[in-house]
Amino acid sequence: MFEVNNLIGTGKFFLYISAELLILFVGISFLVALLQEFVSEETVRRVLTKPQKWLGNILGAALGALTPFCSCSTIPILVGLLNGGAPFGATMSFLISSPLLNPVILALFLTMIGWKVTLIYGVSTFIAAVLIGALWERLGLASTYKMHKIENVGCCCGPGAVQIVMPLTNKEKVKRAGTQTGTLFRQVLPYLIIGAGIGAFIYGFVPEELIIKLAGPGNPLAIPVAAVIGIPMYIRVETMIPIGSVLIAKGMSLGAVMALIIGGAGASIPELTLLASIFKPKLVITFTITILAVAILAGFFFQILQPIL
Q: Please report which confidence band the pLDDT of residue 6 belongs to, taking 50, 70 and 90 as the band edges.
A: low
Compute and round to an integer the Cα radius of gyration of the chain: 20
Task: Answer with the residue of higher pLDDT: 64 or 25.
Answer: 64
Q: Which residues pair with 145 in a beta bridge?
A: 279
Q: Count how many domains the chain has.
A: 1
Convert the pLDDT of each residue in 95-120 to its tens digit: 898 878 877 778 878 887 888 999 99
Among 28-37, 92-101, 125-134, 244-253, the range of highest mean pLDDT: 125-134
Which SS3 state, helix, strand or coil, does residue 145 take?
strand
Angle between helix 254-266 and 115-138 (nearest 10): 50
pLDDT value of position 163: 44
Q: For residue 27, give its domain range.
A: 4-308
The answer, yes or no, to whether residue 64 has pLDDT greater than 70, is: yes
The answer, yes or no, to whether residue 152 has pLDDT greater than 50, is: no
Neighbours of 23 (CB within 10 A): 11
pLDDT value of position 153: 46
Residue 274 has φ and ψ, to the nearest 5°, of: -65, -40
Is the model's pTM score more than 0.75?
no
Among 71-85, 144-158, 242-256, the range of highest mean pLDDT: 242-256
Q: Is-contact 68 104, C-beta < 8 A?
A: yes
Q: Which residues pair with 279 in a beta bridge?
A: 145
Average pLDDT over residues 87-101: 88
Using a 10 angstrom Cβ sphere, with 0-12 exposed, 13-18 middle and 19 or more buried, the burial of residue 42 is middle
Convert the pLDDT of each residue in 258-268 to its tens digit: 888 888 777 77
Convert the pLDDT of each residue in 18-57 to its tens digit: 787 778 777 777 876 777 677 666 676 677 766 566 788 8
Residue 115 has φ and ψ, to the nearest 5°, of: -70, -30
pLDDT value of position 154: 47
> Cα 110 to chain center, whole Å?
14
pLDDT value of position 159: 44
Q: Residue 41 is which amino acid?
A: E
Neighbours of 58 (CB within 10 A): 18
pLDDT value of position 123: 93
Report the mean per-residue pLDDT for the chain. Answer: 78
- Poorest-confidence range of 14-23, 80-89, 126-135, 236-245? 236-245
Q: Cα separation of 8 and 236, whole Å?
A: 27
pLDDT value of position 272: 81
Pick from 298, 275, 295, 294: nearest CA to 285: 275
Neighbours of 280 (CB within 10 A): 13
pLDDT value of position 165: 45
pLDDT value of position 300: 92
Which SS3 state, helix, strand or coil, does residue 279 take?
strand
Neighbours of 169 (CB within 10 A): 8
Pick from 304, 308, 296, 294: nearest CA to 128: 294
pLDDT value of position 125: 92
Which SS3 state, helix, strand or coil, does residue 218 take?
coil
